[in-house]
Amino acid sequence: MFHKILKVIVPLSLLLLQACSDNSDISSTEQENTNAGTTESSKTYFTDEGYEIGQCQPVFYGLKIFVPEENAFYICANNNRWIKVRVNDDYEEPASSSSTWVEEFPVDSVHIIIDTLPYSSSSAVCDLYWNSDYDDYIYAYPNDKANNDSASHRLADGGVFLNILQGGSYSVRFQKGSDTIAPELSLYHYSTYTTTIQAQDSIDYWYFPINAENLKSSDFYKTRLHNKDCSFYKEPTKGFLFEGSGKYSSHFNINLIVIGKYMGTSDKASETTLAETIKARMNEALNNGGVFVDKITVLHAHEHELHGQMFPEDSAYVLPYGRVFANYSLLEKWNGHENALNLMLGYYIDRPNILGFAPRFGGHLDASIPNYSYVVLGTHNRVTGKPTAQSSNDIAETAVHEAGHFLGLRHTSSSKNDMEGDLDKSNVEDGLEDTPYCAKVNTSENIDNCPDRRNIIFPYSSDKTERTYSGEQVEQIRKNLTLMVH
Interface positions with Zn ion (CB under 5 A)? 7
Instruction: Write down the least CB distance from residue 375 to Zn ion, Å.
Output: 11
Instruction: Write down the least CB distance from residue 418 to Zn ion, Å.
Output: 8
Instruction: Write down the least CB distance from residue 389 to Zn ion, Å.
Output: 22
Quick one: 142 or 359, whose CB is closer to Zn ion? 359
Instruction: Write down the least CB distance from residue 470 to Zn ion, Å.
Output: 15
Integer CA distances (angstroms), 366 to 184, 405, 474, in order: 32, 17, 21
Quick one: 254 or 399, whose CB is closer to Zn ion? 399
Q: What is the identity of the amino acid at 287? A: N
Instruction: Please give the DSSP secondary-structure letter assigned to residue 384.
Output: S
Instruction: Write down the least CB distance from residue 472 to Zn ion, Å.
Output: 17
Give 403's strand partners: none
Quick one: 170 or 328, whose CB is closer to Zn ion? 328
Instruction: Write down the least CB distance from residue 9 to Zn ion, Å.
Output: 6
Instruction: Write down the least CB distance from residue 396 to Zn ion, Å.
Output: 15
Cβ atoms 233, 208 nearer than 8 A: no
Q: What is the identity of the amino acid at 15? A: L
Nearest to 432 by CA among 477, 473, 474, 481: 473
Tell me the torsion sign for CA atoms 324, 325, 330, 331: negative
Quick one: 183 or 359, whose CB is closer to Zn ion? 359
Instruction: Write down the least CB distance from residue 404 to Zn ion, Å.
Output: 8
- Overall residue count recorded for the chain in this entry: 486
Q: In angstroms, how far is the first alpha carbon of the chain from the final one?
A: 43
Cβ atoms 143, 462 nearer than 8 A: no
Quick one: 5 or 318, whose CB is closer to Zn ion? 5
How big is the chain by its Cα radius of gyration, in Å?
24
The CA angle 337-342-347, to the nearest 5 degrees, is: 125
Q: What are phi and psi of 151, to 5 degrees?
A: -65, -40
What is the number of other CB atoms lying within 10 angstroms of the CB of residue 220? 22
Which residue is nearest to Zn ion, using beta carbons?
Answer: 7
Quick one: 73 or 357, whose CB is closer to Zn ion? 357
Instruction: Write down the least CB distance from residue 448 to Zn ion, Å.
Output: 18
The CA angle 425-200-483, to the nearest 5 degrees, is: 60
Cβ atoms 253, 294 nearer than 8 A: yes
Quick one: 337 or 464, whose CB is closer to Zn ion? 464
Nearest to 390 by CA among 258, 267, 261: 267
Nearest to 245 by CA among 405, 357, 105: 105
Instruction: Write down the least CB distance from residue 113 to Zn ion, Å.
Output: 33
Percent helix, strand, coil in the chain (nearest 5)?
20, 25, 55
Q: What is the identity of the amino acid at 104? A: E
- The three-class DSSP label of residue 442 is helix
Quick one: 303 or 463, whose CB is closer to Zn ion? 463
Quick one: 56 or 456, whose CB is closer to Zn ion? 456
Quick one: 171 or 461, whose CB is closer to Zn ion? 461
Q: Where is 293: in which H helix or E strand?
A: strand 292-300
Integer CA distances (angstroms), 172 to 220, 397, 404, in order: 14, 34, 23
Give 296's strand partners: 254
Quick one: 7 or 333, whose CB is closer to Zn ion? 7
Instruction: Write down the least CB distance from residue 459 to Zn ion, Å.
Output: 5
Sheet containing 200-201: order of strands = 200-201, 205-211, 169-175, 238-245
